[in-house]
Amino acid sequence: MRVLSGIQPTGQIHIGNYLGAIKQWLLLQEKNECFFFIADLHSLTIPYQPENLQKNILETAIVYLAAGINPEKSIFFVQSDIKEHTELCWLLNTVAPIGDLERMTQYKEKSRQFKKNINAGLLVYPVLQAADILLYKTEGVPVGKDQVQHIELARTIARKFNQRFGKTFVEPKAVLAKMGAKIMSLNNPKQKMSKSLESQSYISLFEEPGEIKRKVMSAVTDTGKQIKYNPGKKPGISNLLIIYSLFSEKPIKEVEKIFKGKGYAQFKKSLAELLINSLEPFRKKRKELLSREVYVRETLKLGAKRARAIAESTMHDVRQKIGLA
C-alpha cells in the first residue's frame, strides 16, 4: 500500500499526535511505501512568525526522526520543497465544491479561533491537503479522527477529477488507530488534546519527567473513586486509562484489574511513571539529533529529491489530462 501523512510545524508534538498518528506511521513504514512530510504551507494559514518558521520546520523534522521515522524506509520531506503541491492545489481548486469546503469542521473552528484572520487559505486548506495526497497516488492516510473529513473530501475531489478528465487519481482512505484516534485534553477531557491549547492540556513527546508528573497528577478526573472505563460518565479517567493501556500495551480491562480498589492518586502516580519511562528514548534521541543539524537538513534534501521525481511524473499526466499540455 502507498501511505502518506503530514504534520504542521506548529507547536509541540504531544502524546495525542503520537498515539493517533505517528505510532501508526512507525508500524506502516515497515511494510509499505511511505511518504511523511512537514506541512509548512498549511501552517501559513494561521498567525505565525516568519523569522521562526525555518527553526520550527527543523525542530519538527527532528521530532519525526526522534519518534522513529526511518528515512531509509520512508520518503521524508518538506512540503514547500515540492512546487507540485501548490500547482496541483490550484488545479484541484477548480473541481472542489465550495459548499463542502464551507462545511469542514476545522475551517469553522479555525475561523472562530482566529476571527481577525479568516483568510482564503483556511477555506482551501483541505484542497491543498487533497493535492498532497493525490500527487503521490496515495491509498492509505494514517491520521487522527479530526482529519477524516478532509480525507473524505480528497476522495470526492479525486472522483470528480477522474469523472471529468479520465482516470488519473487513486481514491484514498483514512487509516485510523483502533484506540487512541482521539486522545482528550488533560485539563478538559471533553476537548481533544491539541497543541494549539494551553500547555497544561497536553504532554509533549519530549516532556521532562518533572513536568510529566505535575501534569498527570493535576489532570482533571471525575467524581467517584473507581478506576473504570466509561467515556460517557467518566471522560477524565477513561482518557487516562486509554493512555495507560496504549503505553503499557495492556488491554484496558487488565489495567482496571491492576488498579481495582486503589485510588485515583495511585493510578496517576503509576501512569506518570509509565509515561516518564516510555518517553525517555524520545527525549534521548531528540537531544542527540539537536546536535546533528547538517544530517537532518541533508536527509530532508534527499527526501525531497525522491518525492519530486514522483510528483513531477503525476503532474506531467495531470497537465495533459486537463489540457495544459
* 110 part of the active site: yes
Pair 92, 131: CB distance under 8 Å:
yes
Give the Cα separation of 297 and 71 in Å (integer).
12
Residue with smaller CB distance to ligand TRP, 153 or 219: 153
Residue with smaller CB distance to ligand TRP, 46 or 118: 46
- Least distance from ligand ADP to the Cβ atom of residue 85, Å: 17
Q: For residue 132, state whether it binds ligand TRP (rule: CB under 6 A).
A: yes
Kindly tell me which residue out of 34, 92, 123, 181 binds ligand ADP, with binding defined by CB under 6 A.
Answer: 181
Give the Cα separation of 10 and 53 in Å (integer).
9
* Catalytic residue, candidates 195, 250, 262, 285: 195
Task: Report whether 17 belongs to an annotated binding site.
Answer: yes
Give the Cα separation of 313 and 156 in Å (integer).
22
Pair 40, 79: CB distance under 8 Å:
yes
The DSSP H or E segment spanning 175 is strand 173-175
Q: For residue 110, state whether it binds ligand ADP (rule: CB under 6 A).
A: no
User: Which span (60-68, 89-97, 128-136, 157-165) binds ligand TRP, by CB under 6 A?
Assistant: 128-136
Residues 189-208 that bind ligand ADP (CB under 6 A): 192-196
Number of residue whose CB is nearest ligand ADP: 20
Give the Cα separation of 241 and 238 in Å (integer).
5
Kindly tell me which residue out of 20, 71, 172, 236 binds ligand ADP, with binding defined by CB under 6 A.
Answer: 20
For 211, 275, 303, the CA distances from 34, given in Å and listed in that order, are: 34, 28, 11
* Catalytic residue, candidates 23, 192, 215, 268: 192
- Classify residue 173 by burial, with Cβ atoms within 10 Å: 0-12, 13-18, 19+: middle
- Residue count, binding to ligand TRP (CB under 6 A): 13
Catalytic site residues?
110, 192, 195
What residue numbers does the annotated binding site for L-tryptophan cover?
Answer: 132
